Structure 1
């Protein structure tokens, strides 16, 4: 597997090198906000050394909830020169640690798409209320978060683009892409057993049917969760090559979609 070419630490440093402005200017904060009477806890990062308001990237977490992984991604985006807000769609303090609990929490929202959409919209509203941000927004997500980003796209969210990293790609019954308002970027591994290439093809057909502006980048040999550098030991699915390439694809997409 190509990920063995790099250690986790080396890959993380290489990823950080994509950033432009100095990390010394990065300001972060935990942000609590309410959606329909429930409190959620997000994470905001911005480069305070940049003058003027910045675009903001909304990051949707994996099925384990908002963790240090999404927080580091937010900081990396701030280092690049755009603000980032990692949303929480589970609720403050809800951070499942077992596979059973992760499946249960994500499953609740897969079964209640209206609730998922409401929580994404609430996170977006909280992000746009932060100091130093403008109304140019890109929504990205990892694994479960990638599926959530596509859900937000199908909901017709008024943003500038959507990006899925090794996300769930199935289109729920009764849904389509006719309400999509912005381009979609799919970053996916060719050996992903959770969302295999048949689902990639089906998604392309669904988006073609509704004239969506989309692009797909497929990384040969990459499996599910190929960007998760925290995975260690035998059987790790981390692929440093695909991770680095997909991150650069994201940065290029941001540059293309926001002013």
Structure 2
């Protein structure tokens, strides 16, 4: 097959300019708190594509959460890492992280409002197909996206990675509209076996479209390459390349199936 020099130059130029675009976007929660979103999309894709909210770990909106937004953009999604703490704050100290998390979860309605504010921001982006929306969350963020599914927030699907599973607001029959995927480490000491059993029973009773994956040998934080550093702080966290890659592949299949169904 023969290519013209002009054609090759045009193709090379297109590849050179097609890349992941990112920007920080300020927004405001219902309670007036200033929030910061981190938005990512692939400018090589024309038109709208499904949107995915990313909810950070208990550390806050840090580089890891932003990286996951870029990873999702590379898969072809319109991705927004949202801010659940306000001012885009984050920390490396467990005591601060616990304080931030507890404050964010103290009022379930306020937490939902903060998530919804981020979801609304994602909908406002020109690249987002507002009929196909999902959310993924890590650790604290895993609990957040599960709670949003429990409360019937209009999402097609949610994915929890090493998330907290216990909740004060349980799903009831018919309340879960989103498909649900939970990726959980079998050796996660921060989530009790009873929490796992109760979540499974809850989702079955609610009639949810629900999948639970137990990743052998994986501990809490298994997706985050920086997790091992926190062992020095006495936290039972550990990165697992195998569990990270397997859970990411599970998520890709899940989101594709979910959004394909929504498109029909």
- Summarize the Cα distance change of 1:234–1:170 in structure 2 as closer, same or farther, 3 Å threshold: closer
The aligned counterpart of 2:19 is: 25
| Alpha-carbon RMSD | 1.8
Q: In structure 1, list runs of 5 or more residues that go unmatched.
A: 1-20
The aligned counterpart of 2:28 is: 34
- Summarize the Cα distance change of 1:186–1:134 in structure 2 as closer, same or farther, 3 Å threshold: same
Aligned 8 A contact 2:151 2:171 in 1 = no
Aligned 8 A contact 2:23 2:40 in 1 = yes
User: Which of residues 191, 194, 204 in structure 2 aligns to 1:195?
Assistant: 191
Residue 252 of structure 1, CA deviation? 0.6
Residue 82 of structure 1, CA deviation? 1.1
Shifted more, 29-38 versus 183-192: the winner is: 29-38
Q: Whose RCO is larger (CA < 8 A, sep 6+)?
A: 1
The aligned counterpart of 2:162 is: 166
- CA–CA separation in structure 2 for the residues paired with 1:89 and 1:171: 17
The aligned counterpart of 1:70 is: 65
The answer to whether structure 1 residue 107 and structure 2 residue 108 are counterparts is no
Residue 80 of structure 1, CA deviation? 1.2
Q: Note the 1:175-190 alignment, pairs <5 A.
A: 175-178=170-173, 179-190=175-186
TM-score by length of structure 1 reads 0.87
TM-score by length of structure 2 reads 0.86
Shifted more, 189-198 versus 210-219: the winner is: 189-198
Residue 77 of structure 1, CA deviation? 1.0
The answer to whether structure 1 residue 211 and structure 2 residue 207 are counterparts is yes
Rg larger in 1 or in 2?
2
Q: How many residues matched?
A: 238
Aligned 8 A contact 2:145 2:159 in 1 = yes
- CA–CA separation in structure 2 for the residues paired with 1:102 and 1:89: 12
